[in-house]
Amino acid sequence: TLYKNAEEASIYTANTIAALISRKQKEGKHAVLGLATGNTPKRVYQELIRMHNDEGLSFQNVISFNLDEYFPINAGDSQSYTYFMEQNLFAHVDIKSSNIHIPHVDGSSTDISKYCNEYEEKIASYGGLDLQLLGIGRNGHIGFNEPRSSFDSITRLVNLHPVTREDAKSDFGTLENVPQQAISMGINTILQAKKILLLALGQRKSEIINKAIYGAVSIDTPASILQSLPQVEYILDSDAAALI
């Protein structure tokens, strides 16, 4: 799917998510959404908020699981994905707070691998993700599944790639302030979603989009695994699609 501009691509993405929520609501079921952070989905979330306010789109039946979160980080820090989601979506819609899941671990006392396994189990307990929204990093990462991540990976503690930390520098002020690690759903976790929307906007994504869609399927480009999957839809603006 190609869209002329970022606005149209974002509206299309929001409409797809809203249609799923409404359909599940009519069936009396939960809509289990995998959500992403970053600049890319911001406009999508704004449109969902607008539909909530103007068109009565309800999030009462939504169960959300975010892809990733920095580690360590305080949930209240402005760079945390917990804070991002609250600011950019959750505070503005009627989602139940008990239905929100973000892989945030506070403090040192938590057994992280146990926490990650429980995150996986929780997703499974709702029958898996109905839809996963994805952005893409300039190095081809999805979530925080950096190059060399196994295609079989599940939710776990990961080390951030230098390109990723460099891109996050503007949020954290200095490179030293960018966490070295994160907790991320794995590639296998993502691939289990019934529908996957990969949204990429802007010229800075054009090179990696070309590589991810037409390059070799390789763990060097994590997003390349999506190429062969029927449930994947790429939603690109003309700048991100410039090289394909």
Per rule CB under 6 A, count of chain residues that contact ligand GLP: 13
- Chain Cα centroid distance, residue 186: 12
Contact flag: residue 37 with ligand GLP (CB under 6 A) = yes
CB of 37 to ligand GLP, least distance (A): 6
List the one residue from 40, 61, 64, 82 that touches ligand GLP (CB under 6 A).
40
Residue 24 or 103 with smaller CB distance to ligand GLP: 103
- Chain Cα centroid distance, residue 13: 13
Q: 219, 149 in Cβ contact below 8 A? A: yes
Residue 95 or 182 with smaller CB distance to ligand GLP: 182
Contact flag: residue 222 with ligand GLP (CB under 6 A) = no
Q: 222, 158 in Cβ contact below 8 A? A: no
**Within 72-101, which residues bind ligand GLP (CB under 6 A)?**
none
Active site residue 139: yes
Helix segments in the chain, DSSP class H: 6-26, 42-55, 81-88, 112-125, 162-172, 187-191, 206-214
CA 117 – CA 213 distance, rounded (Å)? 30
Contact flag: residue 67 with ligand GLP (CB under 6 A) = yes
Q: Quick one: angle between helices 42-55 and 81-88, nearest 10? A: 40
CB of 122 to ligand GLP, least distance (A): 19
List the one residue from 11, 22, 30, 38 that touches ligand GLP (CB under 6 A).
38
Contact flag: residue 10 with ligand GLP (CB under 6 A) = no
Q: 187, 107 in Cβ contact below 8 A? A: no
Site map 144..183 versus ligand GLP, x via CB under 6 A: x-------------------x-------------------
Q: Could you write out the DSSP letters of every residue in 61-124?
A: TEEEEESEEEES--TTSTTSHHHHHHHHTGGGS---GGGEE-----SSSS-HHHHHHHHHHHHH
Q: Which of 120, 130, 146, 237 is catalytic?
A: 146
Catalytic residue list: 68, 139, 141, 146
Residue ranges that bind ligand GLP, judged by CB under 6 A: 36-40, 67-68, 135-137, 143-144, 164
